[in-house]
Each structure stands twice: as C-alpha cells, then as structure tokens.
C-alpha cells in the first residue's frame, strides 16, 4: 500500500455532471406508483479511462500510481462501475477518500473483468 503511505495527491480531477434532480424525482414518483422498488442510485457515464484522465506518478520505490480525484457535489455517495477491468498480475487498485479514512481494495488480477485487449 505504498501509494496510501505516500504524500502524493491527485492533481487531475473529474467533477461529475449534475443530473436533473427534478427529472429523477419525477421518475421515482412514477416508479413508486407502478409498485417498483426504490432506486439506489442514478448512473452517470463519465467515460473515464487511463488514457483520457488521471495522472501517472512514479513513487521513490519505482511503483507507478495512477491518480484521479472524482467529485460529485451534493451526491450522497459515489459508486464506481467498470465496463472493462483488467489489472496485470502483481498490480493493485485501491480506491480511497481524499483523507484516506475510507479505503477499498486491493483489487487485483483476480477481479479482472474481460481481457487486456478489451481496454484498447
């Protein structure tokens, strides 16, 4: 967890587009009238990947870390879903809050979804 122990910070950031809360509330009322269960969240396709966002940083021990700060003002939570997910053997992904009090991971090659070619 070298990246968590370092002082390196994400300088590149993505601010999620704010959805229409009025439209979401209307859809939720319609769903409730149909007897459907409550919605957990609202998906926003950010289209982020290693090539169009974030920043690679090399740590003193030679590890390479990809950093990206994701913000969604007024959101109650942020959940990440990956269309394709591939980590090489030995690689690790940690997702953590800016203050590093909430840490998710390590995600490793055991969590791969698809192949390396799917990411191209």
So what's the pLDDT on residue 31? 97
Q: Give the pLDDT of residue 61.
A: 87
Structurally, how many domains does the chain consist of?
1
Task: Give the C-alpha separation, 11 to 104, whole Å.
Answer: 20
**pLDDT tens per residue, the chain (120 residues)?**
456 666 666 666 677 778 888 999 999 999 999 999 999 988 888 888 888 888 998 888 888 888 999 998 888 888 988 888 889 999 999 998 888 899 999 999 999 987 666 655
Is residue 32 in a domain? Answer: no
* Domain housing 54: 2-16+45-119
Q: Is residue 21 part of a domain?
A: no
Tokens 């009025």, located at residue: 22
Q: Is residue 100 included in any domain, yes or no? A: yes
In a domain, residue 83? The reply is yes
For residue 38, CA distances in Å to 18, 43, 106 come to 20, 14, 31
Q: Please report whether residue 61 resides in a domain.
A: yes
């Amino acid at each position: 967890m070298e990246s968590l122990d370092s002082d390196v910070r994400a300088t590149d950031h993505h601010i999620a587009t704010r959805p229409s809360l009025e439209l979401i509330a209307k859809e939720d009322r319609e769903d409730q009238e149909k007897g459907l269960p409550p919605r957990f969240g609202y998906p926003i396709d950010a289209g982020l990947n290693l090539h169009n966002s974030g920043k690679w940083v090399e740590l003193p021990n030679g590890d390479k870390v990809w950093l990206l700060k994701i913000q969604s003002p007024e959101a109650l939570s942020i959940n990440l879903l990956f269309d394709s997910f591939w980590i090489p053997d030995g690689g690790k992904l940690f997702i953590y809050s800016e203050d590093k009090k909430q840490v998710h991971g390590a995600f490793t090659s055991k969590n791969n979804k698809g192949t390396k070619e799917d990411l191209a």
